Structure 1
Amino acid sequence: MPSCSGGRAALWILCVCFSALQTAALRVSMMESRVTVVQGDVAVLPCSFFTSGPLSRLNVIWTLAPFSSPETPTQVIVYDHGQVIEDPSFSGRVAFTGIPWSADIVVNDTRVSDGGTYRCVINNPPETADPGIGELELRVQAPPSRPVCRWDGGVELGGRVTLSCSVLEGEPSPEIHWDKMSPQELTLIAMEGSVQMVNVSSQTSGLYRCSARNLLGTEHCYVSLSLDTRPDSSSGLLQAALLTLSMSSVLMALLALALWLHRTGQDGRRKEGREEEEEEEESSNEIRCIPSLMKRSFV
């Protein structure tokens, strides 16, 4: 009788254990919630799992939701029925480290674009449990890329000038600072990488520097502003008009002088002509009188 009861107890324990294994849900655990590396280094992304079934039909999918577009996740690497498939953007840079016993992956030659939220999704048929899912965040730090400087607006007196500075890469996001280097050093307050200067004057001219800085380094770009101090078009037109009037006055004075000299010359020649005619008339009168006097003397 005791042997019979002992057998039933052993059978009951075996049934309980078998039922527990059958009902045990697939579990996934992530040893890290965040992994941080420097650009170019190797990133190891851990993903451990527990399953009660054989691993012949194990399916593991790693996906990435980039920081730049979290709403459009993409596949990174897949393990399905013993085959490994890599996404073209990660080709040659990603691999499993312990499949099928571990779902850990390694990412080589990391890039800033690799940063985002990674999900490890595991299925193991014929288990009917829901797939196990784990998440972690990968941050790839990088020094700032060389910034691009530019300016917009007019550099005439009283105008408005906007200095802007943009950086394509850098993690953490670089801080932007503007400084005037010469002829007088001055630190400017930048709002989202831009500086606005209104009512510019001669003191605005000079060399300006944009600095993009994070914990891994600093990069610079430069802008040279030269204020246009030439007079505006209206004052130029006024000066041209005054010059034209002055030249016209001089020409009229010269013309009047020439006419006066011409008239003076004509009057002089007329007077000389009249004097010559009068002299000729007097000479002719004297000659005509001589015969009459001689005639009278003979009588």
Structure 2
Amino acid sequence: MGITAGSWLVLLGSLHWLINLSSALLEVHVEQKSVTAVQGQGITLLVWYSSSSEDKPYITWYIQRAQTEQVQILKYIDGEIDVASDFKDRLSFAHQMPAKDISIIINRTQATDSGQYRCYVNVRNDNSVGSGNIGVINVSIQVPPSKPTCQIHGNSYIGANVTLSCKSSSGDPVPNYSWIKKASVNVVYFPPALDSVKGTLTLTNLTSDNTGTYVCTSKNIAGVAECNITMEVTSSSRTAIIVGAVVGTIVGLCCLALLCAVLVYLYRREIKESQDEVENDIKEDAPAPKTLTWTKGNESDLVFKNGTLSSVNSNRDHKPYPSKSPSDTTSINTAAGSNVGYNPPPYMGDRGRVTTPTPSLSSQSLPSYMAAPNGNYYSTAVPSNRSALPKTNGVDHPAPRKELNIASGVTPSNLVRMGAVPVMVPAQSQAGSLV
């Protein structure tokens, strides 16, 4: 059975359709599946697509960092380009859009730029099979190690053990560490003294030869960084001296500070006490009154002046009584405190009577005496009936005084020798004033 001409025409048409269909399929092409760069450098991710359609494409770029979801970083649609904030001024298309070469450029790369980049392309009036419209590139940004920090752990004296440590705060991939000692011929250390991962160098049983400068090198494929430290190995006695000096200095400073505090406290207390003393001081506005120095009579302890009662301190030398007779207004108690023979002053009418205290009698009592104006002793009986005395203008006249009979052996000198003390008793004059 042969094939007719019509059958050949149908077969040729089907082949033509299949050829056109295969050439019209959308497909994204990637030149490198992975890209490695050092931090700070620029990279280019080469990507293009093929399609029979001449329409403008719709392009989006995403990044998926480790353990995170993908994030859109670049978008192109209808002539508009939108860039993510963390890639602002660092990310752009390599060619003017629209174009089938959709490669991108990343400048001033950072450690956070590491991740998986995905490019999605869609074109109108064109289709893709499976994931043909997606391009994937893995990017790794390597970070050089930062300048490491060198430290000494332990006391560097003879016979002791110390550990030198070295550590970089950043670096991707993780750097390795090595130690050398600078000398005319550098000394290189290896395990087990050296731990290249932790960056430690352990030195045991130190000697004076261990004194010197040690250099640590932190290195990865992105770069190298170094630090150094100087160690001086001393004897234990010298170390003790240094420690003692430091401790003594600290103690001395503390004592000095304490002494200063005590001095300040004492100074302030002294100032406060002096202020209190000034405030509590009694200031006298005028001098104290002076004792009146009236003129005394010869060998007399009692003085009467201007009709007022005045007393002068008796002389403690117990001088004998004066030759003159005492005043009428004076009474004397004996050493035994007796006033036998003494009669009270006369009744003074409405103005009352002036009396003296009556001491207790003693078995050895002496009569009191009363001196007359002329110095002679006399005795006068007092009338028993005072009311019978005549009155003048309604005023009672004073009764005559009774004369005292003093024994011949009792004299003023004897009274003084016996310890009698003269006492001044106020009395009234005829005018009614105290004398």
Q: TM-score range by the shorter chain?
A: 0.5 to 0.7
Counterpart in 2 of 1:179? 180
Distance 1:80 1:63, change over 3 A: farther
Matched, 1:148 2:133: no
1:43-122 mapped onto 2 (5 Å cutoff): 43-51=43-51, 55-56=55-56, 58-65=58-65, 69=66, 71=68, 73-98=70-95, 99-100=97-98, 101-122=100-121
Give the Cα–Cα distance (whole angstroms) in 2 for the partners of residues 122 and 151 of structure 1: 58
CA contact (8 A) 2:36 2:141 kept: yes
Cα distance change of structure 1 residues 193 and 33 upon mapping to structure 2, 3 Å threshold = same
The 5-angstrom pairing of residues 157-196 of structure 1 reads 157-166=159-168, 168-169=170-171, 174-181=175-182, 185-189=186-190, 190-196=195-201
Shifted more, 200-209 versus 9-18: the winner is: 9-18
Length, aligned pairs only: 228
C-alpha deviations, 1:55-86, integer Å up to 9, x for none? 44623224253xxx465554432224443221
CA contact (8 A) 1:178 1:210 kept: yes
C-alpha distance in structure 1 between counterparts of 2:122 and 2:163, whole Å: 60
Measure the CA separation in 1 of the matches of 2:181 and 2:47.
51
Shift of 1:95: 0.8
Once residues 77 and 130 of structure 2 are traced to their aligned partners in structure 1, the CA distance between those partners, rounded to angstroms, is 17
Q: 1:211, CA displacement in angstroms?
A: 2.0
- The 3-state SS of whatever aligns with 2:236 is coil
User: Post-superposition shift, 1:187?
Assistant: 1.2
Q: What pairs with 1:217-228 in structure 2 (closer than 5 Å)? A: 218-227=224-233
Q: TM-score under structure 1 normalisation?
A: 0.58
Q: Contact 1:112–1:140 at 8 Å: present in 2 too?
A: yes
User: 2:235 & 2:140 partners in 1: Cα distance?
Assistant: 51
**Paired letter, 2:108:** D
Query: Does the 8 Å CA contact 1:166/1:193 hold for their aligned counterparts?
Result: no
For residues 217-246 of structure 1, the C-alpha deviation after alignment (integer angstroms, 9 at most, x for no partner) is 64321112234633598xx9xxxxxxxxxx
Name the aligned partner's letter for residue 108 of structure 1.
Answer: N
The Cα RMSD (Å) is 4.0
- Tell me the CA shift for residue 11 of structure 1: 5.0
Query: Does the 8 A contact of 1:155 with 1:161 survive in 2?
Result: no
- For the pair shown, which has the larger CA radius of gyration, 1 or 2? 2
Instruction: Give TM-score, length-normalised by structure 2.
Output: 0.42
**CA deviation map 1:235-294 (0-9, x unaligned):** x9xxxxxxxxxxxxxxxxxxxxxxxxxxxxxxxxxxxxxxxxxxxxxxxxxxxxxxxxxx
Q: Which amino acid aligns with 1:206?
A: G
Q: 1:153 to 1:166 in 2, by over 3 A?
A: farther
More strand by proportion, 1 or 2? 1
Amino acid at match of 1:59: I
* Secondary structure at the counterpart of residue 109 of structure 1: coil
User: Within 2, Cα distance between the matches of 1:147 and 1:95?
Assistant: 36
Q: Percent identity?
A: 20
Consecutive unaligned residues of structure 2, counting only runs of 5 or more, are 244-435
Residue type of the alignment partner of 1:27: E
Moved more, 155-164 or 12-21: 12-21
SS at match of 1:118: strand
Say whether residues 1:202 and 2:204 are aligned partners: no
Letter in 2 for 1:63: I
Look up the SS of the partner of 1:192 in the other structure: coil
SS state at 1:222 partner: strand
CA pair 30-57 structure 1, distance change in 2 beyond 3 A: closer
CA deviations 1:28-54 (Å, max 9, x no partner) are: 221123445555444221112224556
Is the contact between residue 36 and residue 141 of structure 1 (CA under 8 Å) also seen in structure 2? yes
Structure 1: gaps of 5 or more residues: 237-299
